[in-house]
């Protein structure tokens, strides 16, 4: 069976501070680099054949940790970026809640609200992430495992789309991937299925937000 491991990046200073990042090109924190290294040691035991990453520094830096121990080159693709949060980029979550309580209430109900006024909806994100996934698996060989280093909401949106969950179902039933944790999609004769969600190594700590 073919397998795609969808891996969230390690922690950033912005994660720890509750800041919306979106397309902000933030780097891993010291703790994030440690998380990435620990996860990479586990993932290399899965004998991945390819390593793909968002081009943003926090995801690419996480992928670099696996590249170092596996010898795989990192293939970057901007379609694996996090959702564009528009005018919320760089803002603290608490400030967004205070300024836009009705928008946040809609998000809590699982509604697909455009982020930051001029950012993306999850439907927008799913279209580009699914296109990247489809291109990836089109060249994936039988029995191969591929690792994709990406982001919190991008991970949940992509997995939901692949296995046929609505965004609202995924939002209300799946907690966000923790930093440096991953999901595993496995291909069965009836299609792709979610086999693992929020796997990781060490204590289950770190941001669980999709920012």
Residues forming the active site: 9, 82
Do residues 82 and 151 lie in contact, with contact meaning Cβ atoms separated by under 8 Å?
yes
CA atoms within a 13 Å half-sphere pointing along the CA-CB vector of 10: 23
Q: List, as one string, the DSSP characters of 89-158.
A: TT-BHHHHHHH-HHHHHHHHTT--PPTTTTS--HHHHHHHHHHHHHHHHHTPPTT-EEEEEE-HHHHHHH
Q: Hey, what's the torsion of the CAs at 105, 108, 110, 113, to 10 degrees?
A: 50
Distance CA 107, CA 2 (A): 34
Two tokens at 172? Answer: 């209300």
Q: Hey, what's the torsion of the CAs at 106, 111, 115, 118, to 10 degrees?
A: -100
Sheet containing strand 3-8, edge to edge, reads 74-76, 50-53, 145-150, 3-8, 182-188, 191-199
């Amino acid at each position: 069976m073919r397998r795609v491991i969808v891996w969230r990046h390690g922690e950033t200073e912005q994660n720890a501070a509750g800041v919306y990042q979106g397309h902000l090109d933030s780097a891993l924190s010291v703790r994030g680099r440690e998380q990435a290294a620990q996860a990479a040691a586990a993932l290399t035991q899965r004998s991945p054949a390819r390593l793909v990453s968002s081009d943003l520094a926090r995801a690419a830096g996480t992928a670099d940790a696996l590249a170092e121990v596996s010898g795989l080159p990192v293939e970057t693709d901007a379609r694996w970026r996090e959702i564009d949060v528009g005018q919320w980029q760089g803002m603290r979550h608490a400030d967004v809640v205070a300024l836009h309580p009705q928008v946040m209430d809609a998000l809590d109900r699982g509604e697909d609200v455009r982020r930051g006024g001029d950012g993306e909806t999850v439907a927008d994100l799913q279209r580009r992430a699914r296109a990247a996934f489809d291109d990836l698996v089109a060249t994936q060989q039988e029995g191969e495992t591929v690792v994709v280093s990406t982001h919190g909401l991008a991970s949940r949106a992509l997995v939901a789309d692949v296995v046929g969950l609505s965004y609202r179902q995924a939002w209300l039933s799946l907690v966000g991937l923790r930093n440096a944790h991953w999901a595993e999609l496995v291909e069965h004769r009836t299609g792709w299925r979610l086999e693992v969600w929020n796997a990781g190594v060490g204590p289950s700590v770190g941001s669980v937000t999709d920012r």
